[in-house]
Structure 1
């Protein structure tokens, strides 16, 4: 778990070799930057920090650097990017790597070097000897999509680093508004920290006042208003999105995606799947599944099929007809109202 590694790094418990892999690039980058800050000061960065792209540079060049004593400092940090030799994917590398040299280094790393291997791949090839060796000798962290408890823990940790703390209901509200994009979450936390300036507690009123809703969250809220038969509020959200220069075709696509998710969650729940299983099956975030499950309970199967038919019809007209696109979505909202 990334948060456990963060705690170790902050306590100066630094390993000689790290392997970060997975598709959550924001988490990988955050952890790498944390390592840099804990190991090197500003003056040392120019002399004792190196980055190698392994699609362009042989691994033995980086290893030679790792074995060279640091200059004007006690330790050095080396980042290795794009080690596609750890995967089963067809290599894009322009060079040949001396992996035996790398394997030897993994067994006896230089005590003054912190080597960080950054692999932005969903899976590693566990059959390869080099993969087995690096996982055996390195602190390995899989940077995957965080589930809801992990996401809450990550937000709390980031908030703490910014000198703020959420009340329990405020954290739920924050997650609902921002969604699961870690870059957006980090940006909104920075905004809250700047605004509060000394006030540590964040309540629901402050979240509602300051936090920007993601486009997906606006669509979720719009659907909620339709379900509650509050067409005037649904239209207000829609017109606000148009004022923000959101394209009607994109809004329609997100409406279609949300209703499709609601339908799928409803069907898979009926078959006995839990929310985590549904998230894995649909390859979406568990928090999105949780929100969709709440909306799914408000529709019958017949209603969902009818609504999806209306959206498909609007999509066809938007792509083939000459009617004004924004007016098409507006008319759809009138028809969605049950």
Structure 2
């Protein structure tokens, strides 16, 4: 059945997939007749969308009906569920129904089960956690191949550290690098990428390192640099939480007597076991209790920012507390 369900927090990757679907389904000359998007605030958007997708197409190409940010997979009224049951099995072959949402579908709902039963594509667009460097590098290499930019292993690593999991920023930076390297068949070197690409995630990791060593002055300076680069506070916190969680898992495994790097990597959800040696060196002066105490502070920081607390002052206060914990004060 021509039904597509997309969800996830990677808005840019989802936008690209939607654009591909739209270009494939619609004839440019008949878009105004065959393309309809229903925003979530529109009354009875789901019912209207289902009625629209059953309408025969006009002219050439197919029909595309898009329910934007729909809640059908989180909450579905009985009348809409009944309409889904009637419509989904009989949608015409050249009519396409697209449902998008940032939230993961609730697998327990009858509406979700119905959509999974008839969907051509049921696809998630997740953001890669900032601390999963192997997946970030893999994403960089895939994007570079798509854009047509040649990278070395070192430049791919540097780009992953610089843009993190911001897919939109990654493609913007790759497009800049493509224009710079136009006409050259050589892979871009580290110096070129360093000069052209804005670095934010690496600074967040540097912030984590400064906190780990208890260097309050360096931590606050790095935070100021991130703020000047317009790095969102919640993204900074996400990187810190991931890094401290990884350090904690590695420390717990070592303290328990585990020496097998692959076993430690599996427990800490680290793709490359070779990283364990370097992580061990980073946390050799910290105790399990210090790392455990840091996580609630980071979670308090995340909650405060989500509740609308003053971003800079809240970050500064918690970072000072974290540095004190890591110094053993």
TM range (shorter): 0.5 to 0.7
2:222 is equivalent to residue 241 of structure 1:
no
Which is worse superposed, 257-266 or 115-124? 257-266
Structure 1 counterpart SS, 2:66: strand
CA distance in 1, matches of 2:73, 2:289: 45
Aligned pairs (5 A) from 1:119-268:
119-128=101-110, 130-138=111-119, 139-146=121-128, 151-200=136-185, 201-214=187-200, 216-221=201-206, 238=222, 241=225, 244=228, 260-261=244-245, 263-268=247-252
1:248-280 superposed Cα distances (whole Å, 9 cap, x missing partner): x9999799758744642433443677556545x
Structure 2 counterpart SS, 1:116: strand
The 1:50–1:251 alpha-carbon spacing in structure 2 relative to 1, beyond 3 Å, is closer
Asked whether the 8 Å contact 1:259–1:308 carries over to 2, the reply is no
Displacement of 1:103 after TM fit?
2.0
The 1:196–1:60 alpha-carbon spacing in structure 2 relative to 1, beyond 3 Å, is same
CA distance in 2, matches of 1:74, 1:287: 44
Aligned pairs (5 A) from 1:105-124:
105-124=87-106
Aligned length: 293
Displacement of 1:16 after TM fit?
1.2
Pick one of 66, 78, 84 that aligns with 1:102. 84
Pick one of 27, 37, 57 that aligns with 1:70. 57
Asked whether the 8 Å contact 2:155–2:188 carries over to 1, the reply is yes
CA distance in 1, matches of 2:272, 2:68: 31
2:56 is equivalent to residue 84 of structure 1:
no
Asked whether the 8 Å contact 1:51–1:80 carries over to 2, the reply is yes
Asked whether the 8 Å contact 1:165–1:202 carries over to 2, the reply is yes
Displacement of 1:193 after TM fit?
1.9
Alignment TM-score, normalising by the size of structure 2: 0.67
CA distance in 1, matches of 2:31, 2:182: 31
Displacement of 1:135 after TM fit?
0.5
Asked whether the 8 Å contact 2:140–2:159 carries over to 1, the reply is no
Quote the RMSD (CA, aligned, Å). 4.7
CA distance in 2, matches of 1:250, 1:209: 26
Structure 1 counterpart SS, 2:55: coil
Structure 2 counterpart SS, 1:86: coil
Pick one of 274, 283, 286 that aligns with 1:299. 283
Unpaired stretches in structure 1, ≥5 consecutive residues: 1-14, 280-285, 313-318, 320-324
Which is worse superposed, 199-208 or 167-176? 199-208
Asked whether the 8 Å contact 1:21–1:121 carries over to 2, the reply is yes
The 1:102–1:254 alpha-carbon spacing in structure 2 relative to 1, beyond 3 Å, is closer
The corresponding residue for 1:3 is: none
Asked whether the 8 Å contact 2:251–2:288 carries over to 1, the reply is no
Structure 2 counterpart SS, 1:165: coil
The 1:61–1:258 alpha-carbon spacing in structure 2 relative to 1, beyond 3 Å, is closer
Which is worse superposed, 177-186 or 110-119? 177-186
